[in-house]
Amino acid sequence: MNKTRGPVRIGVLGCGTVGSEVVRLLQASATDLASRIGAPLELVGVAVKDPADPLPGNLDLDRTLLTGDALALAQRADVVVELMGGIEPARSAILAAIGAGASVVTANKALLGLHGPELYAAASAAGVEIYFEAAVGGAIPILRPIRESLAGDTITRVLGIVNGTTNYVLDRMTLEGLDFGEALRQAQRLGYAEADPTADIEGYDAASKAAILASLAFHTRVSADQVYREGIGQITAASVEAAGATGHVVKLLAIVERKGSAGVIARVHPSLVPLSHPLASVHGAFNAIYVEAEAAGELMFYGHGAGGRPTASAVVGDLVTVARHRVDGSLGPGESAYLALPALPVGQASTRYQIRLFVKDQPGVLAGVSRVFAAEGVSIETVRQTAGDGSNGVELATLTVVTHQAPERSLERVAQALRREATVASVVDVIRVEGV
């Protein structure tokens, strides 16, 4: 990389919750940052939708720095900080910045989850860098530990609570017995959930992060659209209560695992986590990422996964690294996808299911149900029966069956066969059990 002489010119694209906190940190810590980098940072512009709009949170900023032209700003900085989010115009602005010889810091998981390889290749060809610690887990240092600290090890699996909104909703359901709708409304009132919560609730945000984690952890390329995804909309207060009765808590997990040289599986879905697992004690909107590596063993990274100031901490951390590299003319590690492992379908995963059934409370029912599991070679770990209360004029009992580990495909077939079984009135819910 060419050395930057004199101040390092910074262009910030986007001045919302995170962008405004990045600007505030740059202002508040200017002297310290200059010492850490070896040159001062000079804020040369902040791109916003409309420069006439009020700035968020009484940000004290010279308004002549504001511009509505993100693309032009991207081409007159040494380091471009992209915090606009979304695919376009963020992708074009980043490519313009790289084309003009700038390095990039971004928190844009949706963009990296779909177009990461294109951007990494462009940066590598231009001899510049793209850093994105804030894209997964907000303030939590997780990508750099995976890329650098664990570069000598073999990571086998990563389990992450990487979406604070869904963790908040599920936590309220667990601790207060709220139903999904009430918990979501509470999250919206407190500003954790967006007015349109689809990206969080349906697992799209977590799937983008799973793709980034899988790509880095397994030295391969996994795109967000290769991540199996289920949201939390089907989880009811009764599912959460039943989880508690068997010693579990419901979490939305992003799970990425390596199946030797066959490939990698990336999935996002509600999961029952045993109360004894460290991820079970991650409450509220916090995030945590649990990494399993051959030599290091198990590691957990925990902290604020969203919010202006925490996310700005990770962004400015990257900014310091990238600016230092420009001052001394060096480059950090780029994309490492040498293994080129295929992304495998979720059917090839091995997991455990908890299946809740309403069944007729009569002789032979349990035998019939267990035959369905046996026919698919799925071993049952526990069965719990709660007597029916005669509601709807039918004596229905609830059976909660937890399986041993089995191929996902066999478990799917068990769930389908149970839906056809005459003594089974309904399959209430089917949730995977993870972290065992």
Say if CB 164 and CB 287 are below 8 A apart.
yes
**In this complex, which beta carbon is closest to ligand HSE, that of residue 129 or of residue 200?**
200
Q: Which of 92, 68, 75, 84 is nearest to 15 (CA)?
A: 84
Rg (CA), the chain: 24
With contact defined as beta carbons under 8 Å apart, do 108 and 41 qualify? no
Cβ-based nearer residue to ligand HSE, 187 or 265: 187
Whole-number Cα distances in Å, 28 to 37, 83, 291: 15, 19, 34
User: Which is closer to ligand HSE, CB of 9 or CB of 267?
Assistant: 267
User: In degrees rounded to 5, what are phi and psi of residue 133?
Assistant: -55, -40
Nearest distance in Å: CB 192, ligand HSE = 7
Provide the 10 A C-beta neighbour count for residue 321: 18
- In the complex, minimum distance from the CB of residue 151 to ligand HSE, in angstroms, rounded to a whole number: 25
Concerning whether 259 is annotated as a catalytic residue, the answer is no
Phi, psi for residue 124 in degrees, rounded to 5? -65, -45
Catalytic member of 209, 251, 259, 360: 209
Site residues (vs ligand HSE, CB under 6 A): 163-165, 200, 205, 305-306
Min dist. Cβ of residue 327 to ligand HSE (A) = 31
The sign of the dihedral angle between the CA atoms of 212, 213, 215, 219 is positive
Rounded least distance, CB 419 to ligand HSE, Å = 33
Residue by residue, DSSP assigns 204-250 as HHHHHHHHHHHHHHHTS---GGGSEE--STT--HHHHHHHHHTTEEE
Q: How far is the CB of 25 from ligand HSE (least distance, A)?
A: 18
- Residue 406: both structure tokens together: 């089995």
Query: Closer CB to ligand HSE, residue 134 or residue 316?
Result: 134
Catalytic residue positions, numbered? 209
